[in-house]
Structure 1
């Protein structure tokens, strides 16, 4: 089977996210890394791309050059990953979609709700795929949680509790550290810091696992380090369209927490608990029975979990493997379109542009609710109301 052609924008040398994407895209052999514009400095970007194995004429100096170079090629890339600074996501994603490319965009997909709605309309008009990298939903046992909820193991979902809290920005002395400062600067980060950075991962996971969407929310936001203009801690209560109640805590000043992404789902017939720092175990408590530990890779899990299990039971599963599952989903979706067939339903799990849009609407609702002392606000984008 011929490999699909893959290109990347951003994710250059020293990037935090670039290596995870390159590992994830290459893990299954479905994609060939064929083109890239990896750095905002053209010379450095071209050089780094060639060191990674790109041909000289496909190691581009910027995204505009890559768009022009790829659109006319017979072997043009099938999928473009956008891993640039947040404020550039919308323009790059829009232009590649309009040119007929499939896109995987890092979160947040856009900086405004209006931009998000435009991306959704473009995907619908062009028929192109626009995925958003909520990569933690690629973990095998997160997908098994979703399958358990969908098949009714928990009964009606009553409550979902999600967290994404760490302490890596807790030092007030870091106020002038450029790697930290921009995150709390409205000119660069937008209307929200910690919720837009981490909270939306937890919120999207709540929807992914439960199959329900957030309709309204109330937020308490605070800058524990007073010099920050944007929040470094937020507590969000929310309601979902299937009747579930949601609680979400996100923080960057929780000293002692490392990554801190966890999700718990409680239904009429049982409860589930999973933590990203311990991804091989899913805790399942059926009503009136003893606590059970479901191990990733064990027999008789769901098709969604089986398809996304990469290493044998007992071995560690990591973030690049979760990213690889998103890329595997996208490879199956692209191949199904090329072949004119339905895609494998166990692979139809990649986050869509609609998910990116819902996240951005929630970001603005959280920011506004925080300003209004926790007022309950509609969390849906206008086009979904």
Structure 2
């Protein structure tokens, strides 16, 4: 089978996320960039798409034009990535799923839990893949952490500590910067700022690694810069569905922190520590043993780690390659569906619509708890509170 066709919505010129998606989709030669609607300004989007190599008739002015154009083609795109502003994710993802396209949506998948539940139902009913770009779970050693937990190296997980704290919004004088202001504006960001932007990455990674979902949470949220309506710092306590305890801190005013995504997992028989800023090293401390450094690319790692490493040991692999691993998973899933076969288990790790829905439910629970002096809230979406409703989540 030849390359799969890929289309991008959003991610136009000057976008922070667009280049990472284009690099990720193209890295392994599995997808061809075939179509795009890259800018909210139609002429600018068409021109930029053509500069990137799109044929003029597939460099579309908006997503509606792209949907109509691709739907009519025999060689239509196999996968559509939605990298537009948050408030548009639901409408675009829903439309493409309903017309038979596989979708990778940037997070947050939706702005409400109800919208998230609708996307999950549509994806399940249509049989189309709906993935959500929690791209940091594409890192090789994050996947090795998951494999170590799953095979019992740590024993039962007792505690997981996740952080995503940076200081890039710490300057109160930056309040009118449009690239910052929208994040704290309920009309554009919804009910949460920092937790919805960064905290859900940390929460999803914790759940991904330990194989447990957040069941209840208690949150302390604050706007350290008083002019902000939405929070710029949050501390969240979590209880997971198989007994683990979680502690999560997320902040945008932590001066001196750069990216700040870290994860620590503590079990009966050992502990693990990983940081996105030093992604090639995983620290493993077995109970009663000595601290060990596991290097990305070394021999003897799990199939999940081996499948997602490309560069020889000692060389850095960064965020675009982590994104590429999500695209590599999706290519395998789409091919498996086309060929009516089972997906490679080591590739069956991409975040799904169910994960996007759980994240949105957690956002709502954090916002409600923060307004209620840290009252404990149910972190599960309503459709998953009945086990029968979570049959494939």
User: 1:208 maps to what in 2?
Assistant: 208
What's the offset of the Cα at 1:179?
0.7
TM-score (norm 2): 0.98
Aligned length: 385
User: 2:53 maps to what in 1?
Assistant: 53
Task: Output aligned runs, 1:175-324, within 5 Å.
Answer: 175-324=175-324
Matched, 1:345 2:345: yes
CA distance in 1, matches of 2:93, 2:310: 30
CA distance in 1, matches of 2:298, 2:179: 41
CA distance in 2, matches of 1:182, 1:318: 27
CA distance in 2, matches of 1:311, 1:250: 31
Give deviations 1:328-360, integer Å, cap 9, x for gaps.
000000000001110100000000000000000
User: 1:173 maps to what in 2?
Assistant: 173
Task: Output aligned runs, 1:22-41, within 5 Å.
Answer: 22-41=22-41
Matched, 1:160 2:163: no
What's the offset of the Cα at 1:262?
0.1
Ranges of 4+ aligned residues in structure 1 off by more than 4 Å: none
What's the offset of the Cα at 1:135?
0.1
Q: Report the RMSD for the aligned CA atoms in angstroms.
A: 0.3
CA distance in 1, matches of 2:376, 2:343: 39
What's the offset of the Cα at 1:317?
0.9
The secondary structure found in structure 1 opposite 2:293 is strand
Matched, 1:112 2:112: yes
The secondary structure found in structure 2 opposite 1:128 is coil
The secondary structure found in structure 1 opposite 2:284 is strand
The secondary structure found in structure 2 opposite 1:277 is coil
CA distance in 1, matches of 2:234, 2:81: 30
The secondary structure found in structure 1 opposite 2:91 is helix
What's the offset of the Cα at 1:47?
0.3
What's the offset of the Cα at 1:72?
1.1
CA distance in 2, matches of 1:51, 1:115: 35
CA distance in 2, matches of 1:32, 1:359: 30
What's the offset of the Cα at 1:310?
1.3
Give 5+ residue unaligned stretches, structure 1. Answer: none
CA distance in 2, matches of 1:2, 1:48: 26
User: 2:83 maps to what in 1?
Assistant: 83
CA distance in 1, matches of 2:177, 2:75: 43
User: 1:336 maps to what in 2?
Assistant: 336
CA distance in 1, matches of 2:103, 2:380: 24
What's the offset of the Cα at 1:206?
0.4
CA distance in 2, matches of 1:239, 1:309: 33
What's the offset of the Cα at 1:110?
0.1
User: 2:125 maps to what in 1?
Assistant: 125
User: 1:370 maps to what in 2?
Assistant: 370
CA distance in 2, matches of 1:107, 1:310: 26
What's the offset of the Cα at 1:144?
0.1
CA distance in 1, matches of 2:82, 2:175: 28
What's the offset of the Cα at 1:181?
0.5
CA distance in 1, matches of 2:222, 2:75: 50
The secondary structure found in structure 2 opposite 1:176 is coil
CA distance in 2, matches of 1:260, 1:108: 19
CA distance in 2, matches of 1:302, 1:42: 46
CA distance in 1, matches of 2:254, 2:330: 35
